[in-house]
Structure 1
Amino acid sequence: MKITANLLDPSIVTSTLPPTDRFSSREATPTAPLDLDTPLKRLCKNAMSGQEVISLLQKFSMLPQFQRELILDAELASVSCSQEEMFSAYKTFYRKYQINSDAERDTWLVRNKCTLAQLEHSVLRTLKLDRFKQTTFGHKVESYFLQRKSQLDRVIYSLLRVKDPHLAQELFFRIQDREATFTELVKQYSGGQEADVGGVVGPHELSIPHPVLAQKLRSLQPGQLAPPLQIADWFVVVRLEKFLPAQLDQVVQSRLIDELYEQWLQARLHDLSMSD
């Protein structure tokens, strides 16, 4: 199925342009004979054996990606999409790259060294992949969200860190007794980048901070100050400012589906490696 860049009429399903002459003419241009003494020359002449291709993919650590694409091709072969869905996918693509005519599309193809057939394959494959993800993993999202929620919850907190445990204890008491503000002491004493922003960090998901710090933040109430913690070579004073519980909105749902898809794909790759 070929779609023009004219997005006004969804009934148009045939390109107004033939396959671009500039690509075919480029491919037909006579070239000087190539000696086949290097892999690149053999590849250009279509004279590379399958075993040599596999060896090179392994050499350059590209074999796993090649295997991913083959696994995906096999799964997507049975996924079907309606003509309306395909038109919508093309429309989204053209809007993304600000393509409003066949001429602009043709210019984009040349600039990206892509043929019309390759473009159509890429758009259709993306559409099928989205359908496959939703069908295969969409019904698992709610239970997976409950497993991941404690890591997806976000926090905003104030952080002060120094190398001296006695100084950390002193600063903790000064903040607790309101002799100085957290911001003042951070700017004066803190040895980390948080000094540039007055010690306020976040919002961050609880999977991002150091595990010791994340565990402490989970135990605090907003506004609560914690005594100094030792994390590696630092002594840290932290106060939880705000707790933002994760919600299963569309953005999070899409992210979790992608995580489940990646886990599935990694398992398939592992099975392949074990069968070698």
Structure 2
Amino acid sequence: MNKTLQLGDVYDGRSGSAILPPEIIPFLASYNLIPQLLSQSIIESAIAPITCTPAETSHALEQFYQQWDLNSEEKIQSWCLRYGLTQEQLELFATRKLRVEKFKQITWGHQLESYFLKYKRHFDKVIYSLIRTDNRGTANELYFRITEGEQSFAELAHEYSQGPEAETSGIIGPVEVGTITPNFAQLLCTSQVGIVQAPVAFGESWVIVRVEKFITAQLDNFMRQRLLQENFETWFQQQLSQLSAEEKTWMGINTKPAQVQQAIAA
């Protein structure tokens, strides 16, 4: 029995619903392209209302022509004929990345500052020194040697620490506070810079820490782009949750999360 696959607002340069012909479905499935197609159709539907100025379109086309070495009108026409694209579709194709960025900015750009301030602590970075051992007595002895000036933190970390930090003389970071387990992050954030903390039990280990430096996160251009992308990915996951059961099966949701991330990045 022939089957069809229907996609809402598929990328064809027009709005509306499209049904893929039956003969193409086995081809897409055999190359595992249906997840990518579904992902791109979700994104294309969202950016359909987004337009570019004539100058933006012209610039995007110039970059596209350079990328594909289309340095003559003849080559451009031949390329469009080969892939079955009209001029309108070509412009949509060339401006797609820009329209995605515009969609991000229009949707979340106005709330970046409040979002950043709300989660700023997670974005702050810390550099710290660490010694960990599974013996409480050893931890107390090492703490005594450091505070009494008998040996440096770095020397003892290199010799005694039981984690990868031994290879860096105890130094870890800079790392974002939000990537650290909450209890340990709390210990670091409540520590004074340069002060060695007495041994504390964490799991099966005893740790001695000294914060070397706090690096305050800034809402610069890099951070803005990161926050826009994070919001975009959260939105995309929400869109996936609204797919039909069959579409979720194609996407491998709950069984192949890496495949979903690959589809986003495609």
Would you call these one fold, judging by a TM-score over 0.5?
yes
Match of 2:182 in 1: 211
Judged with a 3 Å threshold, the aligned counterparts in structure 2 of structure 1 residues 212 and 64 are, in CA distance, closer, same or farther, namely: farther
Report the equivalent of 2:110. Answer: 139
Q: What is residue 149 of structure 2 aligned with on the other side?
A: 178
Name the counterpart of 1:224. Answer: 195
Which amino acid in the other structure matches residue 234 of structure 1? Answer: S
Q: Deviations for 1:95-132, whole angstroms, at most 9, x for unmatched residues?
A: 8x7x88839xx8xxx9xxx9696986553110110111
| 1:1-276 correspondence to structure 2 within 5 Å | 48=23, 50=25, 52=26, 56=29, 63-90=34-61, 102=71, 122-273=93-244
Cα 1:229–1:53 change in 2 (3 A) is farther
Instruction: Give the letter for the 1:271 counterpart.
Output: Q
In 1, the alpha carbon distance for the partners of 2:46 and 2:169 equals: 51
What amino acid does structure 1 have at the position aligned with 2:39? Answer: R
**Is the Cα contact below 8 Å between 2:112 and 2:227 reproduced in 1?**
yes
Distance verdict in 2 for CA 1:239–1:49, change over 3 Å: same
* Separation of aligned partners in 1, 2:61 and 2:191: 49
The whole-number CA distance in structure 1 between the counterparts of 2:35 and 2:239 is 11
Q: Which runs of 5+ in 2 are unaligned?
A: 1-20, 248-266
Describe the shift of the 1:119–1:160 C-alpha distance in structure 2 as closer, same or farther (beyond 3 A).
farther
Provide TM-score, normalisation by structure 2.
0.70
Give 3-state SS (helix, strand or coil) of 1:259's partner.
Answer: helix
Using the alignment, how far apart are the partners of 2:216 and 2:22 within structure 1? 58
> For 1:147-166, what per-residue CA distance to the aligned partner results, in whole angstroms no more than 9, with x for missing partners?
22111010011111112121
The answer to whether the Cα contact below 8 Å between 2:133 and 2:206 also exists between their aligned partners in 1 is yes
Identity, in percent, stands at 36
Change (3 A) 1:258 1:192: same
Structure 1 CA distance for aligned equivalents of residues 146 and 166 of structure 2: 16
The question of whether the paired residues in 2 share the 8 Å contact of 1:187 and 1:198 is answered with: yes
Equivalent residues of 1:64, 1:269 under 8 A apart? no
Letter in structure 2 aligned against 1:251? F
* TM-score between the two structures when normalised by the length of structure 1: 0.67
Matched residue SS, 1:225: coil
Once the two structures are superposed, residues 129-155 of structure 1 have per-residue CA deviations (whole angstroms, 9 ceiling, x without a partner) of 011111111011111112221110100
For 1:223 and 1:196, the matched residues in 2 are separated by 21
Contact 1:187–1:196 (CA<8 Å) still a contact in 2? yes
> How many correspondences in the alignment?
217
Q: CA RMSD in A?
A: 3.3
Structure 2 Cα separation of the partners of residues 137 and 205 of structure 1: 23
Contact 2:65/2:71 (8 A) holds in 1: no
Q: Which moved more, 1:82-91 or 1:69-78?
A: 82-91
Output the CA distance in 2 between the equivalents of 1:251 and 1:122: 26
